[in-house]
Chain A
């Protein structure tokens, strides 16, 4: 039976059925065959409705909307200009500036793709014009963009919270230190690998002027994080505040909201949102039939009764995530594997908040590993002349850093969980 589902899934995905519908269709077949025939099919709308019947989920479309508004707002350009005036004279200075922008934007946006697009659109032409080699630039952006899901707010963390019932607020806090640390490691590596390029320093008045212009972009993370931790709004509600603020910035400060832009913003939000949510629906249907047939339970039983250390199981889980990450998109991986992995992790006595951070770093890795890596595609979209292989090679050193970073988190779980106790 497990073979039927695994084989069916592989076949449907391979012939190009969208992930959401491959999951749903296979679940429907399973419900009919193994779960009471037509009675089983009656469960489809019940489970599909339940998949989205959760207030936490409602922040997802708002984060997508906010990303789309910011993409049109010009806030990315101002941030980049500011960062480059402060950092361009250092070794690999524009690389540092780009990463800092990725970090700031990551603290506004919940998505890695949005981060890579918004900063990439500005940084790629500027950096290549300044003599940075294309491979390094594209790799830097592919990796820097992934910070979007580790530094809060984060869509995968919201999904993790929604599937497992862990507090989204705690997950966000847990992402702060690892997010900043990973950013710092990226910066150290970028500066070293691009050390032969330095620019003329900007004057102090130029620096301050750049900062003043970028003030709206800089205010946004303050507003979102400040609003959450002062209790003005919950992590779920923060998305609505972010949308309203970015509308004000895009509409009033940058005057970029034309009717044509609004229509584009709305429709691309709908397409992305429906894609994400329907994968959640499909995965919920799929995991209903699997659970009903006791497949995840059997796997948990097996994994937790293996006569090996729990760290061997941990390494196996990471290998599984690495392999899945090559072929699947992150939301799908999360919602398909969590119902199986979460009980294993908690049964083995690992901290579920810490494990969430491990998963998110794995998802960052998935975004830049071929053949299916969303950030790779996004950068190819910004710079169509660049072959995917070039972007992959540019991002490879950062992928190695991410793997080492997972090991670091395994040795020092306090990096993820330490801050939670202090934020009181």
Chain B
């Protein structure tokens, strides 16, 4: 089982890196928009990229960071029932809800990849001056979806082992 706990730790770290990357995207967005304010108001030179790239960064911050939020138990849920059932039932509820989360994440990852492939085939670009190929920002969805799948799998493992996912 040594390889298993090694794999577990490695996946957990991967998700954490996703979280850090998401945080950096938020910081970078702040930097870009602040630069836009200064450049426009002091130097009369608005950028042609800050608005557009911020949107991509924020899309990334959500999808790449969502898996970390699963692991940090930050996604809001109604825990009325969870708090009022015996421990064994609570464990089953947690496993079932993690599996349901996994089900959506799988669809999200698979159809996200399909979407990216299609955008590549069609040659979709943004309609701005930058003409960014749309598959690049769209790629953030399946990457985030894949991380989400891993996060929900780890949640299931935690519940089965009675680890940190045990509390509601």
Contact = CB atoms under 8 A, between A and B. Distances in A.
Direct contact of A and B (CB under 8 A): yes
Interface of A: 12-21, 24-25, 28, 41-42, 44-46, 48-49, 52-55, 57-58, 60-62, 65, 232-233, 236-237, 239-241, 243-244, 266-267, 269-275, 277-279, 281, 327-329, 332, 371-372
Nearest to B18: A270
20 contacts: A14-B81, A16-B97, A18-B70, A20-B75, A45-B141, A49-B138, A54-B55, A55-B54, A58-B58, A65-B27, A232-B41, A233-B41, A267-B19, A269-B26, A270-B23, A273-B65, A274-B65, A274-B69, A274-B75, A278-B75
Interface residues of B, number: 57
Q: Which 4 A-B pairs have the closest CB atoms?
A: A18-B75, A271-B74, A266-B23, A277-B62
Contacts of B96: 15
Contact of B33 (A24, A58, A232): A58
Contact of B30 (A15, A54, A62): A62
Residues of A contacting B: mostly: helix
A15 B91 CA distance: 11
A281 B78 contact: no
Nearest to A19: B76
Contacts of A55: 51, 54-55
Contacts of A371: 80
Interface in B111-157: 111-112, 114-116, 137-138, 141-142
Contacts of B61: 61, 270, 273-274, 277
A171 B22 CA distance: 29
Given A267-B20, A278-B69, A53 B55 contact: yes
A270 B19 contact: yes
A16 B77 contact: yes
Contact of B74 (A24, A44, A275): A275
Nearest to B101: A21
A24 B97 CA distance: 13
Interface string B92-110: 0110110011011001100
Contact of A270 (B26, B55, B141): B26
A20 B70 CA distance: 11
B68 A274 contact: yes
B37 interface: yes
B34 interface: yes
Given A45-B138, A269-B23, A270-B69, A21 B104 contact: yes
Contacts of A45: 108, 111-112, 114-116, 138, 141-142
